[in-house]
């Protein structure tokens, strides 16, 4: 039983370390700080981007391979652990603690399999402009759903923007800031990051950056931004902005999707107060 406990602890450490490293590749990976009802419900309505036939054909194969490796690894772990238990007689006189340990093993296997599936991208569509006739009604419904969600009417998120607020200029600035902050994260330029975030969020981000075993090299490829929530509580104005796109890990060449929400606040009682990120939700 002691050997089994050691094996279980090692597996738990391996999974937690891997997830922490993956989250740390992008600024705010894993999520930090405040959270509001805004963007998470929109992920299922995210439109699929048409790509020219032959473009990015290598990327799906690589991600599929990762998913297969996750399944194979999970299977090997399951087979190895249960073979060990059967061979060592661990099921003789099974106790409540044994049941808890088996449940923990099942959870680890589930996490590994789920991690592999999450990295599989949506298969690239046909040539630009082509749509199969049978898909047109579904695409139209997705477009309608997305429009309702962006207005905040579908998920109950408030959308109270001042009449003179320039949403286009704000989102364009946010796109530039996203790339700037990601580069600062790569370079460990915490002074630059401090100017964008609240003190509480900065402390959490600093700890995450210090814990990374190697400097991340993440390149933002495609990126869009949209305001998904806007409100005001007292003198504090709040805006949530959703970023969607793709990024590449320059260390291993893998690509991943971006679905991040920044929650920003501005204290209107202070003259020339900046917008500060007070919360990050990152998939």
Q: Return the pLDDT at 274.
A: 96
For residue range 11-49, what is the model confidence (pLDDT) as tens digits? 444 444 444 446 558 888 888 888 887 644 444 444 444
The per-residue pLDDT for 73 is 47
Q: Which residue has the higher pLDDT, 252 or 132?
A: 252
Specify the pTM.
0.59
Q: Determine the average pLDDT of the residues in 215-240.
A: 97
Q: What is the pLDDT of residue 32?
A: 85
- Most confident of the ranges 5-19, 82-96, 166-180: 166-180
Question: Which of 264, 256, 268, 188 has the alpha carbon at shortest distance from 223?
Answer: 256
Least confident of 44-48, 153-157, 252-256: 44-48
The reported pLDDT for the residue numbered 28 is 84
For the chain, the structural domain boundaries read: 5-64+141-282
- Residue 237: its pLDDT value, please? 97
Contact between residue 246 and residue 60 where contact means Cβ atoms under 8 Å apart: no
Which position has the higher pLDDT, 182 or 47? 182
Across 214-228, average pLDDT: 96
pLDDT value of position 253: 94
| Structure token pair of residue 279 | 């919360």
- CATH class entry, domain 5-64+141-282: alpha beta
Contact 227, 174 (CB under 8 A): no
Which has more confidence, 131 or 254?
Answer: 254
Give the chain's mean pLDDT: 72
For the chain, give the percent of residues with pLDDT over 70: 50
pLDDT > 90 in the chain, percent: 44
Residue 33 pLDDT: 85
Q: What is the pLDDT of residue 25?
A: 83
Cα dist from 89 to 4, 58, 85, 230, whole Å: 12, 47, 6, 60
């Amino acid at each position: 039983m002691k050997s089994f406990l050691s094996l279980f602890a090692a597996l738990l450490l391996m999974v937690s370390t891997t997830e922490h490293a993956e989250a740390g590749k992008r600024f705010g990976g894993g999520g930090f700080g405040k959270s509001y009802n805004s963007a998470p419900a929109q992920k299922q309505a995210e439109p699929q981007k048409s790509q020219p036939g032959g473009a990015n054909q290598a990327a799906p194969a690589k991600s599929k391979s990762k998913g297969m490796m996750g399944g194979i690894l999970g299977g090997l772990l399951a087979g190895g652990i249960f073979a060990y238990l059967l061979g060592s007689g661990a099921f003789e006189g099974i106790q409540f603690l044994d049941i808890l340990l088996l449940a923990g093993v099942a959870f680890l296997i589930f996490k590994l399999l789920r991690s592999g599936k999450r990295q599989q991208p949506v298969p690239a569509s046909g040539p630009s402009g082509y749509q199969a006739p049978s898909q047109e009604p579904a695409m139209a419904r997705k477009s309608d759903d997305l429009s309702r969600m962006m207005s905040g009417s579908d998920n109950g998120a408030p959308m109270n923007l001042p009449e003179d607020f320039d949403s286009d200029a704000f989102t364009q600035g946010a796109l530039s800031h996203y790339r700037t902050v990601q580069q600062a994260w790569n370079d460990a330029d915490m002074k630059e990051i401090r100017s964008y975030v609240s003190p509480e969020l900065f402390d959490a981000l600093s700890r995450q950056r210090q814990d990374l075993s190697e400097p991340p090299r993440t390149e933002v490829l495609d990126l869009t931004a949209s305001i998904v929530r806007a409100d005001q509580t007292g003198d504090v104005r709040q805006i949530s902005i959703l970023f969607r796109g793709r990024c590449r890990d320059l260390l291993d060449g893998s690509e991943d999707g971006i679905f991040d929400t920044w929650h920003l606040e501005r204290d209107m009682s202070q003259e020339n107060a900046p917008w500060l990120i007070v919360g990050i939700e990152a998939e």
